[in-house]
Chains A and B, each alone.
Chain A
Amino acid sequence: MLSKSEKSYIRTSLLSEPPLRADGRSLLDFRGVAVELGVTALANGSARVRIGGDAGSESGGGGVCGTEVLVAVKVEVEDVSGSVDGGKGRMACNVSCSPAAYPSLTMLQLDDFQSDLTSILDTTLGCSSLCPTNLSIIPRKKAWLLHVDALVLADDGNVYDALFLAAAAALHDTRIPRTRPIEYRPNNARSQASADASDDPMDGASGLDTHAMPKATDFELMDYWDEGEPLVCPNGMSWPICVTLNLVPPLFYLDATTVEEDATLTRLLLLYSFSTNSSNTRLQGMRLLGHGEVEANLIKPLIREGEKHAKHLNQSLFAKLKSELTKRIPQIVPSTKRNK
């Protein structure tokens, strides 16, 4: 909670020429963003994203705390024989917030906030156009259900961008176990092992045929050298990226701290996904948060601006994920080059 004069100090500084923020960043500067993959051993994919926070204070005394979101993906087999949408599998998202991230909220207020976050993550990622194409195990019978569970550990502003970055990174890190459909043949007690797995002793003893066939009734997990195959996002698109535009008419700025958010009336969340060759961009979602209003004719230019910044964010995330997947060592992405 800020005083009136603090809020007005922040707004006037943003509107002065050149604009000035409390920590010296320019309007479009992000704080440092750190992405770590594979942070929870018991999940099929996971990532931790930190925005801001103390740079290198081993004693960790005072300083700023930053925003920290952890997302873990777990797969579960679901019976989809009764499902109306063809049973291709689905994603279910849930966000929970540590009370430590919101020390001044009561538990009821925290529950409300969690369900707001869950709703935006679930409606965006749960959209059928983003459903990975390789979730089916046995067509119309069994499919993978992806549980995307997010945990907000600290919030010093811009939690939506952090949430979607962490979700995208975790989905990227996710490996779906390899499976093989099998069919039971009652009149053929000793089945022949299929050609591709003839060296697998399990096949011979199972009484099951492992030919991939449409009548398959069950499946088995394959032993393979890796943990499984990556998720395939449909139409070569990326997972959605969120960019929050904090509106101080006639300007907007990015990556607000909690103090800045407190002084900003309106925020526009824009969610984009991009095709891998960057030729195609889709707006996946949009929310207006806060008490203020926005002039209708401003929305279009804002969406165009947002796209630019989302693209930058997406590119740095990809560069980051690439190096992360080869090294699997936590690292910090310098954010300064994302400006302008």
Chain B
Amino acid sequence: MGSRVEILNDGGYRSDGRRQFELRDIAIDLSRHGQADGSAMYTQGLTEVLVTVFGPREAKLRSQTIHNRANINVEVNIAAFSTGERRKRSRGDKRILELGAAIKSTFEPVIQTHLYPRSQIDIFVQVLQQDGGLLSAAINATTLALITAGIPLFDYVCAVSSGVHSTHAMLDLTTLEENDVPHLTVAVMPRTGKITLVTLETRLHSDRFEEVFRIACEAGKVLHEEMRNAIKARTSALARAMGEGHPAGAPSNREGDEDFEMGDD
């Protein structure tokens, strides 16, 4: 599809005025949603995803239980109006199943499922708007929702899309750019730098891969900072709300050893 829009103009700007490695604006809302144990509304540019987490809780179907760890169930729902062209996707749609599977496999090694044998953790991904970077937005929102639900994780998972236009690598592509440019999504665990997901849906010259991959990992660290700030702001707000009315900075001693015991594993 020959596009009339220049992906990267001579001045080094992209069609929406961004530089090569510039991320779109990110907005994170962690306020409680419905009856969910945890939730996160994540907006990156025009892409908007709401993830709600329920659990760990009793599995709805006994056949879904795993005897030594929690089962992770991911359901993706893409609003028919989320794209430029209206498109209704049913639950069995291939794209929806792929997205769900990618999110599940990304988080399986990250959630400490061994702490919750026979339980179920439901992750409901609701796509409200999409303009590129859908998988990465869904992964970031899932990380945040799991943390607000108090579910133990080895680390954050921070994802970003990156592509290459002729020889120029670029970050965080819009739909328009995704249609024109080979791109991949990378999810990274910032503490160890481990990668939990790489997807490449288009062909990419192997010489280019390394650079694109490297800047995606770099961008993951930037996203980590944003996500961590949002989590810390919310956690501090709740801690403050709980502690108000006490002499500042001197929370009295809790009966700590009664409340918490050494993990038994």
Contact = CB atoms under 8 A, between A and B. Distances in A.
- The answer to whether A and B touch directly, with their CB atoms under 8 angstroms apart, is yes
Interface of A: 40-43, 46, 54, 58-61, 63, 65, 68, 70, 72, 74, 76, 94, 96, 98-101, 103, 106-107, 111, 147, 149, 151, 153-156
B126 A98 contact: yes
A43 B48 CA distance: 14
B88 A94 contact: yes
Contacts of B65: none
A155 to B, nearest CB: 8
Nearest to A100: B52
Contacts of A94: 80, 88
A74 B237 contact: no
A106 B60 contact: yes
A111 B75 CA distance: 13
Contact of A100 (B31, B91, B124): B124
Interface in B25-67: 31-36, 39, 46, 50, 52, 54, 60-61
Contacts of B196: none
Contacts of B126: 98, 100, 151, 153
B79 interface: yes
B237 A59 contact: yes
B86 interface: yes
B77 A98 contact: yes
A149 B79 contact: yes
A111 B128 CA distance: 19
Contact of A42 (B77, B81, B241): B81
Contacts of B88: 94, 149
A96 B91 CA distance: 11
Nearest to A41: B46
A155 B34 CA distance: 8
By DSSP majority rule, is chain B's interface helix, strand, loop, or mixed?
A: loop
Contact of A61 (B32, B46, B75): B32
Nearest to A39: B128
A101 B61 CA distance: 19
B32 A103 contact: no
Contacts of A155: 34
Interface in B57-108: 60-61, 75, 77, 79-84, 86, 88, 91
B57 to A, nearest CB: 9
23 contacts: A41-B46, A42-B81, A42-B83, A46-B81, A60-B32, A61-B238, A61-B241, A68-B34, A70-B79, A74-B80, A98-B50, A98-B124, A98-B126, A100-B124, A103-B34, A103-B35, A103-B36, A106-B61, A111-B91, A147-B81, A151-B128, A154-B33, A155-B34
B34 A65 contact: yes
Given A59-B238, A65-B33, A147 B86 contact: yes
Contacts of A154: 33-35
Interface string B221-238: 000000000000000011
Contacts of A76: 86
A80 to B, nearest CB: 18
B172 interface: no
B177 interface: no
Contact of B54 (A61, A74, A103): A103
